[in-house]
Amino acid sequence: MASLNDLVNLNLSDTTEKIIAEYIWVGGSGMDLRSKARTLPKPVTKPSELPKWNYDGSSTNQAPGDDSEVILYPQAIFKDPFRKGNNILVMCDTYTPAGEPIPTNKRAAAAKIFSHPDVEAEVPWYGIEQEYTLLTRSNWPLGWPAGGFPGPQGPYYCGIGADKAFGRDIVDSHYKACLYAGINISGINGEVMPGQWEFQVGPSVGISAGDEVWVARYILEGDWNGAGAHTNYSTKSMREDGGIDVIKAAIKKLEARHSEHIAAYGEGNERRLTGHHETANINKFTWGVANRGASVRIGRDTEKDGKGYFEDRRPASNMDPYVVTSMIAETTILLDL
């Protein structure tokens, strides 16, 4: 008799062309992820080859009980690191039966911005630094003494060893699973608090940055509260000679819309952006070269080369990457001052 482990690792391609597609979407809170699976008759390579599907939106706080059907539109495909083989993960967004985006569908609005010809011409690149904290079953940070606190920060950032890098096996497993899935994950590191880690996604172009961050979160299913999601950004003009002037003009536009960006950059951000611990004050926009206490940081290499990228350090770790990436593009490319 086959063991559970044998069945979990069963290679379906040995006996059937059929595959399993795990449809993933963002739930009613705007931060929770939901998913369900269906069987397809054969492997697929493009979202357009996938059927639309539906779910009970009244059970996810996305529709009333008397009109509960929400339609899933497949938007991006990734290899499934759990089922392997030809099985896939499918990032979807959500619509009414009439084809209107439901209120929690932030991808649809982002796609409109990224499809604007002026935005497309600038080929916006994003690198998103997703911080998160690993928790034990008792909801306490991994590596912390039970009911107590660890030693002060200092040895944990990019730390090594079992007494500093807590949960590295989980972090490495997630790293490899993302690479397997086809997510453009570019690195990982331990953060300043025990049990806190970061992974980076990018450079990714336009809407794909949001798709990749959401699927990376799905694979990890981490807790993102109380940390940041610094967003590195550049356009074609910024990456060319003289780009530093384009960067400074973009930062001026970001300053003009500071309050609007803060309102969209994640819940509870006021508890993080205090002006301490390498954060800017939430109420004041600042920028600087190599300044991690500023709202926006320009790197030394960018200043030296006169071109490159900048880092928006304001987004919280629970931000919606569709909202943040499209808003930065909209402000820096489409806004006229």
pLDDT tens digits along 16-36: 999 999 999 999 999 999 999
Nearest to 191 by CA among 147, 233, 222: 222
pLDDT at residue 75 above 80? yes
Tens of pLDDT, residue by residue over 272-321, are: 888 887 788 889 999 999 998 999 999 999 999 999 999 999 999 999 99
Neighbours of 1 (CB within 10 A): 3
pLDDT band for position 147 (cuts 50, 70, 90): confident
pLDDT given for residue 184 in this prediction: 98
3-state secondary structure of 314: coil
pLDDT at residue 222 above 80? no
More confident residue, 164 or 226: 164
- Residue 48 makes CB contacts below 8 A (sequence gap 6+) with none
Strands (E), the chain: 19-26, 33-40, 53-56, 69-79, 88-95, 125-133, 185-190, 196-205, 231-234, 287-289, 296-298, 310-312
Q: What are phi and psi of 265, to 5 degrees?
A: -95, 15
Q: Which range is least confidently modeled, 12-26, 80-94, 178-192, 261-275?
A: 261-275
Determine the average pLDDT of the residues in 194-209.
96
Determine the average pLDDT of the residues in 181-187.
98
- Residue 271 makes CB contacts below 8 A (sequence gap 6+) with 226
Neighbours of 238 (CB within 10 A): 25
Q: Specify the residue for token string 């030809």.
A: 86
What's the whole-number average pLDDT of the chain?
A: 93
Give the pair of three-digit tokens for residue 153.
């920060």
Give the pair of three-digit tokens for residue 116.
């604007």
